[in-house]
Amino acid sequence: MAFITFQGHPVQTRGELPAVGTKAPDFKLVGSKLTDISLADYAGKKKLLSIVTSLDSPTCAASALRFNEKAAQLPNTVVLVISADLPFAQCRFCSHEGIQHIITLSSFRSRFAEDYGVGLQNGILAGLTARAIVILDENDHVLYTELVGELADEPDYESALAVCRETSNNGSLINP
């Protein structure tokens, strides 16, 4: 388990993010048409998982907008924004904000939060997810992780985007 804060108050997560270099756990998330989506749906592509608490919060919305702005510039990479929001709410958010370059997925009927170590165990947001970034190569090996220390803060965009730009087609770092 890891410890983060929310508005300065300590919060504990269930588990840890997958370790860099390991094979990422598969997932079954819910897409916009209420269909199950897994890692296999993005086979052969790098995957930037932007895990957020709720797109209804200002920080999560800002994060989704920032990644939407940058996603089209990332070769062979899909940006997945994952939250517990229902797909209807995610679609409404994307439509309202003009989002076209990211894919929102819902964890509402999955074990994703537990399998990826981001489930909030205590505090007023218990049951939702911590803010995190996990980047996977084309073969679903973990290249990069970030668990944001304060839930109200945004992730380190530049480091995450640099990892997506600096990896080769086989997932190894070009400039380690």
- Per-residue pLDDT reduced to its tens digit, 13-36: 999 999 999 999 999 999 999 999
Assigned domain for 19 exists:
yes
Whether 136 and 113 have beta carbons less than 8 Å apart is answered as: no
**Strand-pair partners of 51:** 82, 132
Assigned domain for 17 exists:
yes
- The Cα–Cα gap between 26 and 37 comes to 10
97 secondary structure, DSSP code: H
Q: 70: Cβ–Cβ under 8 A, 6 or more apart, which residues?
A: 79, 157, 161
- The Cα–Cα gap between 34 and 125 comes to 24
Domain span at 76: 3-165
Tokens at 156, concatenated: 């380190």
Q: Is the pLDDT of residue 174 over 50?
A: no
Q: What is the pTM of this model?
A: 0.92
Q: Is the pLDDT of residue 145 over 60?
A: yes
Q: Does 60 participate in catalysis according to the annotation? A: yes
Number of domains in the chain: 1
Average pLDDT, the chain: 92
pLDDT at 166: 83
Assigned domain for 176 exists:
no
In total, the chain counts a number of residues equal to 176
Q: Is the pLDDT of residue 168 over 60?
A: no
- Residue that is written with structure tokens 């990644």 in the block: 67
Q: In what order do the strands lie in the sheet with 132-136?
A: 36-37, 29-30, 103-106, 77-83, 46-51, 132-136, 142-147
- The Cα–Cα gap between 18 and 24 comes to 6
For position 104, which CATH number holds?
A: 3.40.30.10
